[in-house]
């Protein structure tokens, strides 16, 4: 294995540890309700209750409508035969006492089942359950986001794909931003509401999911308090987690080709060793078989028979084979050809096995003489040095952490910047303690990175164009002035060709129109 392959599981283990630490640190900014999964069952029960209320109300109005229609028909008989008030009371009694018992309708105050509820009580209960649903639905949606976050976090722990880790951090920030958004939205809307309360937002904000630590004004903290504040520690652990995930992905991309190549070549060398041992045993078996066959043939024939066999071979000639009695000669020659083919195949196989044995012996001897030969042959030394990777990883990580801490401190404490670039009257003003002053520093810092990357991209593009221009001059064998003159001539010729093509098309169109407009000739 390559020398740096241990770094990948090590960094992955560190990233998993940071992920676990990040999830545990969420308790410093989240209340425990966000992790209470039993609210899902409460939401299911509330949905059941509101459906019961809605169905009961719908059944009531359907029955009451039918009863009203029937009452109108019977009222035509006259008040002496039909009393509409008694009929309406009978209908209400049937709906409340009979049909009302078919539904479980909880009382909005006590929570117990209503007995013979009226439609007004059902409407009040439906409104109360709707308020509970709006509270619990908001909580359940956030819990679903937390569950998705845990799923991606678990998957990111076993893969080197940074996308899963980015999704995890995005979901964590989303669960923080959504409660803050509704909190600020309530503050904004309360300005325009005389009572200062917004109904649906009050139901949502009744679940206070964020702890007070996230609302601490970090502008008033000194540097030490700022570094140990919960919101900064969570952000720092998020940053470290993403950094280690990106390092895992980078090292995996850098070292994977070397590791795969080393494993492949090592397997091939091991296969060659095994095949060499098999070749040795096969060579011995073939030689032993030939020797046994020869000895068996010699043992089965007497000296006289051996002499007769030799004489038969000598008497075979071309004239004998061409005669009618030479069929035995053809048979013998065909046997010799087949035998020769088999012998050649055996010889080629023997040569291949001997070559395999020679290569294996050579490699074994080379590995004994030079301990580094195996590393060179398997491309083990082509992998990056683990020491260099460790040093570069921690140097880059340390520098980025230092810059992040410095920039974050500068952004949330703008007076440190304005005290250098502005007069004392501005640096000491109260306005620098506001969020607008923080944004005046934060936004330029955020734009610095894309601005620098754009400058680098433009400079690289200009440099690439210059390299391509010099390469074109070198290939053409002309001076720069001659190349410019040649390019100008080509551009002029292309322009002339384009203009000529346009003129030809225009002339063709005019000729076509003239032919269409010409009067047709008549026979005299």
The alpha carbon dihedral of 457, 459, 464, 469 has a sign of positive
Q: Is residue 83 part of a domain?
A: yes
Res 289: pLDDT: 75
Q: Is residue 72 part of a domain?
A: yes
Distance CA 354, CA 362 (A): 12
Torsion on CA atoms 286, 292, 294, 296, rounded to nearest 10: -150
What confidence score (pLDDT) does residue 431 get?
Answer: 64
> Is 189 part of a structural domain of the chain?
yes
In whole angstroms, give the CA distance from residue 479 to residue 394: 50
Is the pLDDT at 496 greater than 80? The verdict is: yes
Q: Which of 194, 210, 226 is the last residue of a domain?
A: 210
Q: How many structural domains compose the chain?
A: 2
Look up residue 432 and give its DSSP letter: G
**Residue 260's pLDDT band (boundaries 50, 70, 90)?**
confident
122 assigned to some structural domain:
yes
Both tokens of 441, joined, read: 């520093």
In a domain, residue 498? The reply is yes
Residues 160-181 have pLDDT tens digits of 677 888 888 888 888 888 888 8
First to last CA, the chain: 103
Mean pLDDT of 143-151: 82
Is this structure's pTM higher than 0.75?
Answer: no
Asked if 3 contacts 385 with a C-beta cutoff of 8 angstroms, the reply is yes
Q: Which helix (H) or strand (E) holds 453?
A: helix 435-476
End of a domain among 195, 210, 225? Answer: 210
* Of 234, 262, 241, 258, nearest in space to 12 by CA: 241
In a domain, 463, yes or no: yes
**Confidence grade of residue 488 (pLDDT, cut at 50, 70, 90):** confident
pLDDT over 80 (residue 132): no
Domain that holds residue 45: 30-210
pLDDT in tens, 66-122: 767 766 666 666 665 556 666 666 666 666 666 665 666 666 555 566 655 666 777
Q: Which residue from 192, 142, 128, 199 is spatially nearest to 172, judged by alpha carbons? A: 142
Residue 302 lies in a domain: no
Within a domain: residue 94?
A: yes
CA angle centred on 455, ends 449 and 457, rounded to 5°: 100
**Separation CA 184–CA 181 (nearest Å):** 5
Using the predicted structure, report yes or no on whether residue 240 has a pLDDT greater than 60: yes
Q: How do residues 320-377 score in pLDDT, each as one tens digit? A: 555 544 455 556 566 666 666 766 776 777 776 667 767 777 667 766 766 666 666 6
Token readout for 425 is 């009257």
pLDDT attached to residue 524? 38
- The mean pLDDT value for 419-446 works out to 66
Residue positions counted in the chain: 524
SS3 134: helix
């Amino acid at each position: 294995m390559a020398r740096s392959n241990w770094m990948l599981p090590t960094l992955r283990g560190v990233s998993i540890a940071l992920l676990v630490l990040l999830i545990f640190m969420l308790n410093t900014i989240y209340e425990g309700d966000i992790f209470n999964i039993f609210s899902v069952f409460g939401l299911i029960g509330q949905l059941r209750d509101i459906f019961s209320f809605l169905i009961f109300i719908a059944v009531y109005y359907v029955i009451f409508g039918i009863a009203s229609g029937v009452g109108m028909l019977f009222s035509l008989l006259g008040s002496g035969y039909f009393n509409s008030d008694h009929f309406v009371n009978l209908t209400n009694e049937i709906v409340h006492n009979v049909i009302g018992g078919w539904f479980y309708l909880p009382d909005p105050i006590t929570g117990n089942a209503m007995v013979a509820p009226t439609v007004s009580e059902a409407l009040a209960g439906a409104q109360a359950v709707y308020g509970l649903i709006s509270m619990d639905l908001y909580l359940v949606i956030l819990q679903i986001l937390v569950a998705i976050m845990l799923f991606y976090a678990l998957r990111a722990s076993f893969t080197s794909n940074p996308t899963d880790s980015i999704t995890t951090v995005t979901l964590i920030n989303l669960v923080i931003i959504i409660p803050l958004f509704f909190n600020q939205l309530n503050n904004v809307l309360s300005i325009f509401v005389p009572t200062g309360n917004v109904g649906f937002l009050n139901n949502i904000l009744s679940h206070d999911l964020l702890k007070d630590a996230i609302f601490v004004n970090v502008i008033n903290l000194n540097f030490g308090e700022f570094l140990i504040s919960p919101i900064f520690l969570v952000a720092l652990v998020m940053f470290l987690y993403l950094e280690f995930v990106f390092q895992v992905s980078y090292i995996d991309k850098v070292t994977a080709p070397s590791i795969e190549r080393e494993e492949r070549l090592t397997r091939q060398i091991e296969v060659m060793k095994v095949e060499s041992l098999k070749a040795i045993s096969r060579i011995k078996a073939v030689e032993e078989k030939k020797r046994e066959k020869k000895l068996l043939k010699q043992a089965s024939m007497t000296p006289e028979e051996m002499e007769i066999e030799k004489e038969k071979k000598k008497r075979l000639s071309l004239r004998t084979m061409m005669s009618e009695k030479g069929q035995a000669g053809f048979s013998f020659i065909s046997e010799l050809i087949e035998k020769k083919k088999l012998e050649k195949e055996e010889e080629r196989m023997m040569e291949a096995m001997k070559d395999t044995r020679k290569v294996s012996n050579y490699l074994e001897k080379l590995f004994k003489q030079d301990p580094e030969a195996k590393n060179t042959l398997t491309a083990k030394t082509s992998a990056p040095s683990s020491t260099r990777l460790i040093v570069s990883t921690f140097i880059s990580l340390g520098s980025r952490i230092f810059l992040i801490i410095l920039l974050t401190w500068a952004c949330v404490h703008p007076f440190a910047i304005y005290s250098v670039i502005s007069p004392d009257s501005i640096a000491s003003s109260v306005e620098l303690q506001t969020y607008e002053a923080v944004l005046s520093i934060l936004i330029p810092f955020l734009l610095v990175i894309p601005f620098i990357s754009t400058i680098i991209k433009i400079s690289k593009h200009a440099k690439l164009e210059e390299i391509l221009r010099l390469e074109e001059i070198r290939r053409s064998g002309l001076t720069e002035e001659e190349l410019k003159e040649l390019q100008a001539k080509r551009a002029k010729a292309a322009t002339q060709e384009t203009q000529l093509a346009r003129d030809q098309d225009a002339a063709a169109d005019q000729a076509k129109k003239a032919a269409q407009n010409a009067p047709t000739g008549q026979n005299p």
